[in-house]
A and B are shown apart, each in its own frame.
Chain A
């Protein structure tokens, strides 16, 4: 019995020590004060130096909490119980959150840096007049290939993925909307189609892609491609940037016939409390030098045109990440679909995954 009690006391002492340590560290980072901003963000999706700079300039400390998918974030915001001031959903999720009354309108009179954003990236269908959102980063869906295994510039169209010579060589990103989307685009359809016949046709075409598919994976695709596990992959531009930094033999192509254009956007969820801090932060992030610093840290394409001009020429001239107007005009943005259609996309996609 003595042993048990001493073990319990030991555990309690360790816990007290840990609690004290964590409290001290949080004090050191400035958590817990009154002047705070609660940012709900993807993991590692902002340059931490900017947060320090923001605190120095405005006195607001930014508490960062992280999520790993739009839908998981949506559930948390909807359920309440927390006080997130700003979050960063993708475009279709902005639409869904708005329709479900989870967002607070932006007060444009308080925004000082709105003019810095390019018009290509504003007033999109998911949020007309940017009533609710400011673009944070944007990108495309495309094909990544390894020039040690595939001849340079030989893959430029979605349809080429179906070529039998790529048997068991392609990795796909695990996302119903994107994979169904590429099949739809290859057949000249809209990525937002609600026509069941078109969807079934797209799925049938995907089934024929099955022999070429090596694996359907998610974030780990970066590691696989960087290691040369497969010569071809379909993934988002942001992810492509990460792998290309690790393996110089990788290249990213946006097919000419069109692709998806995605946006991650800053929005104010209904759980927000610290409005002064929110606008201070939005304006801070809109400043060209800050947005440019963030873009260099993250590696994604910035919608802030003034910031774009501050980026090194090597990045600015990279057509894969800042494509010319001729490519941009063929890009399609996802619209939020009705629940029934979301399920139709997902059920078909699941059938494709199970297709042998």
Chain B
């Protein structure tokens, strides 16, 4: 009886999976086997895996997604950790989310204004006697702005898993004579891994298909898979090729998910 009741609760979610995940996915798979003349073909896959352009794009996308994720993690972990120590930590964590409510395009325009030739950053550098620097259209600015966009998405899950760590573990660790550093590496870090892993999933996967930032800030000098998908859906209207790239993205996501799978046993083990 109770089991059935429980099962009913899962119905909305499973329905969602079926209607909005499985159905569109089937559609994408279906489209990926057709060319623009609506004939069945494997040519899209053949093109993807043999053309230097697409392979290069894939390598680019993965490489930049890795860099973006790494930078985001390096900034977010300490931020999340320090926030947990603040008095009004819940307020501060809400303040981390707030900037994400402003439209991405508007924020990108703001960055153009900040990083531009006469922008605030360059004026500041000039005032410090460091002279003018070309900031826009560089790989660095592309990565930094992308990381900026992603940071809140990384901070939140890490913060969540850090707040779960019970004080008693830390006290126990101190009682056993561990230093702060040892406590961090042997207690806190392993216990916060689930948060870090969800953060990586939330940041890395969408970073594979960035296209707005790569155009607006990177000046289209870095072409990612997202750019190609955009082009196939909206310029050449070759939905087959676009879907093929979509399938590749889904498969790479599965790989990332497998790599960041939670292997930790229940109850939390100390290493």
Contacts and interface: CB of A to CB of B under 8 A. Distances in A.
A and B touch in the complex (CB under 8 A): yes
B118 A227 contact: yes
Interface string A213-256: 01111101001100111000000000000000000000000000
Given A214-B137, A218-B215, A353 B112 contact: no
A46 to B, nearest CB: 21
Nearest to A351: B53
A342 interface: yes
Contacts of A354: 53, 56-57, 223
A342 B36 CA distance: 11
A69 interface: yes
Interface stretch (B144-152, B233-241, B247-255): B233-241
B220 A350 contact: no
A343 B238 contact: yes
B228 interface: yes
A72 interface: yes
Query: Chain B interface secondary structure, helix, strand, loop or mixed?
Result: loop
Interface band, chain B: 20 to 34
Nearest to A175: B235
Contacts of A218: 215
B251 to A, nearest CB: 22
Contacts of B113: 223, 227
A353 B220 contact: yes
Nearest to A176: B235
B221 interface: yes
A350 B231 contact: yes
Question: Max chain A CB contacts within 10 Å: which of B57, B117, B223, B235?
Answer: B235
Contacts of A75: 237
Contacts of A228: 117-118
A6 interface: no
B210 interface: no
A346 B223 CA distance: 14
B237 A71 contact: yes
B220 A343 contact: no
Nearest to B37: A339
A72 B223 contact: no
A86 B218 CA distance: 36
B137 A346 contact: no
A220 B220 contact: no
A227 B236 contact: no
Contacts of B119: 227
Given A220-B109, A339-B36, A342-B236, A350 B219 contact: no
Contact of B117 (A215, A216, A227, A342): A227
A174 interface: yes
Contacts of A176: 235
B116 A224 contact: yes
B112 to A, nearest CB: 6
B136 interface: yes
Given A339-B36, A346-B236, A351-B53, A223 B112 contact: yes
Contacts of B234: 69, 71-72
A353 B36 contact: no
A224 B112 contact: yes
B216 interface: yes
B219 A214 contact: yes
Interface in A154-188: 171, 174, 176
A340 B219 CA distance: 27
B220 A174 contact: yes
A192 to B, nearest CB: 17
Contacts of B37: 339
A215 B236 contact: no
A75 B237 CA distance: 9
A173 to B, nearest CB: 11
B110 to A, nearest CB: 10
Contacts of A217: 215-216, 219-220
Nearest to A177: B235
Contact of B235 (A214, A224, A346): A346
A350 B237 CA distance: 15
A343 B215 CA distance: 21
Contacts of B228: 350
Interface of B: 36-37, 53, 56-57, 108-109, 112-113, 116-119, 136-137, 215-216, 218-221, 223, 228, 231, 234-238
17 contacts: A69-B234, A71-B235, A171-B219, A176-B235, A215-B136, A216-B221, A217-B215, A220-B112, A223-B113, A227-B113, A229-B116, A339-B237, A342-B235, A350-B231, A354-B53, A354-B56, A354-B57
Interface of A: 69, 71-72, 74-75, 171, 174, 176, 214-218, 220, 223-224, 227-229, 339-340, 342-343, 346-347, 350-351, 353-354
Given A343-B36, A343-B236, 15 more contacts: A71-B234, A72-B234, A74-B237, A176-B235, A215-B220, A217-B219, A218-B215, A223-B113, A227-B112, A227-B119, A229-B136, A347-B53, A350-B228, A350-B231, A353-B220
**A-B pairs with the 4 shortest C-beta distances?**
A215-B219, A216-B220, A215-B137, A227-B116
